[in-house]
Structure 1
Amino acid sequence: MYIPKAFEVNDKTKLVNFIRDNSFGILFSQEENGPLATHLPFLMDEKTGDNGVLIGHMAKQNSHWNKLNGKEVLVVFQGPHAYISASWYNDPNTVPTWNYVAVHVYGTVRIIEKKEEMVERMEKTVNFYESSMPNPWNAKFDDEFIDGLMNGIVVFEISINRMEGKWKLSQNHSIERQQNLINGLKTSNKYNSAEIATMMEQNIKQKDNA
């Protein structure tokens, strides 16, 4: 991912928290017949291995998994994004752009074949996503129905080799221009304008407190 220095984020805690908050990612791999991509939920486990792992699963009928074992892949996590109008700068010699936040994760896949390991990974995943529910659903993996569904999925881990974070929030412009863009974003109801405005405000506050 092309990341100008002004937009680069290397803080592991920030990247991990971002993935947890935006955990529906896209798994990309390069195959003999061309690139493949699958949209999947992931569970971030930063305490396993040297750099952490991503836990995922997909339908066994999805042929994407067939040649993934031992392969390096890319997982893209997309956060808020919004169009930036040149009219909001209140300044000449400006053009429109797009502000956004994203994290790219590169790692090596290991297909999990042992049933008890599959259940353990899926139990962790379910518990993570159910934890915010008012009445969390408790999966009974010894139940005949759920056990049957487990036979129809492939569970895997991605050992993380490296992560890249890009917070493109107009940091390459003056604070005055950034504030003008925030004001403009607050007038828009398209895309994730409100979220991007909030992130830009937080970014400015962090600079003021640095």
Structure 2
Amino acid sequence: MYIPRWNKIEDRDTIRQFVGDVGFASLVTPSDSGLKVTHLPLLYVDSPGDGVISGHMAKGNDHWKVFDGEQESVVIFQGPNAYVSPEWYETRPAVPTWNYGVVHMRGAVTMIDNADWLIQHVDDLGDFHEAGIGDGSKEASYEEIRTKLLG
């Protein structure tokens, strides 16, 4: 969909807030057999430059096999959206449209083969999404995570 310049947001803090509020994205990567698409909980992590998106996926998901550290992927965070009727405009003529919030991020995916990093990532992901829920206690079985996930 065409995005008029007055609706395009490029402020890094606003984008980070949106990504954090949504927290779930579609990861799209081209491969020899077509597009790979995986839906994942992801975290925006401050780092030099434009920041980093941190995530993990199940070893059973073959999407990770196409990551070579160079192939560009797209991460799509989709927020709320709704139809806008021309009946709602005060001025005429008016056309129907769609209001939506979405962030596209592009870059190469780098796999991290480090169990300690993976445990810390899953812990950080849980802390982020559990903020304000319950007493903050942790019940995850990290031994199971080590054998079934990749970062």
Tell me if the contact between 1:126 and 1:139 (Cα under 8 Å) persists in the aligned partners: no
1:1-210 to 2 correspondence within 5 Å? 2-46=2-46, 48-70=47-69, 71-139=71-139, 145-155=141-151
Q: Structure 1, residues 44-76: CA drift from partner, whole Å, max 9, x if none?
A: 112x23221111111110101111131221101
- Looking at structure 1, the residues matched to 129 and 55 of structure 2 have their Cα atoms a distance apart, in angstroms, of 13
The alignment partner of 2:15 has SS state of: helix
Shift of 1:2: 4.6
Q: Structure 1, residues 162-197: CA drift from partner, whole Å, max 9, x if none?
A: xxxxxxxxxxxxxxxxxxxxxxxxxxxxxxxxxxxx
In the superposition, relative to structure 1, how do residues 2 and 94 fare at CA in structure 2: closer, same or farther (>3 Å)? closer
The alignment partner of 1:103 has SS state of: strand
Q: Which amino acid aligns with 2:87?
A: S
Q: Which amino acid aligns with 2:109?
A: V
Alignment correspondent of 1:195: none
Identity of aligned residues (%): 33
Q: Which moved further from structure 2: 27-36 or 48-57? A: 48-57
Shift of 1:82: 0.9
Shift of 1:125: 1.4
- Looking at structure 2, the residues matched to 2 and 137 of structure 1 have their Cα atoms a distance apart, in angstroms, of 45
The answer for unaligned runs of 5 or more in structure 1 is 156-210
In the superposition, relative to structure 1, how do residues 51 and 91 fare at CA in structure 2: closer, same or farther (>3 Å)? closer
Shift of 1:124: 1.5
Q: Structure 1, residues 126-181: CA drift from partner, whole Å, max 9, x if none?
A: 221222212224156xxxx43123211111xxxxxxxxxxxxxxxxxxxxxxxxxx
The alignment partner of 2:102 has SS state of: strand
**Which contiguous aligned blocks of 4+ residues in structure 1 show a shift greater than 3 angstroms?**
none
Structure 1 or 2, whichever has the larger Rg, is 1
Query: TM-score when scaled to structure 1?
Result: 0.66
- Looking at structure 2, the residues matched to 49 and 59 of structure 1 have their Cα atoms a distance apart, in angstroms, of 28
- Looking at structure 2, the residues matched to 52 and 14 of structure 1 have their Cα atoms a distance apart, in angstroms, of 13
Query: TM-score when scaled to structure 2?
Result: 0.90
The answer for unaligned runs of 5 or more in structure 2 is none
Superposition RMSD in Å: 1.7
In the superposition, relative to structure 1, how do residues 63 and 34 fare at CA in structure 2: closer, same or farther (>3 Å)? same
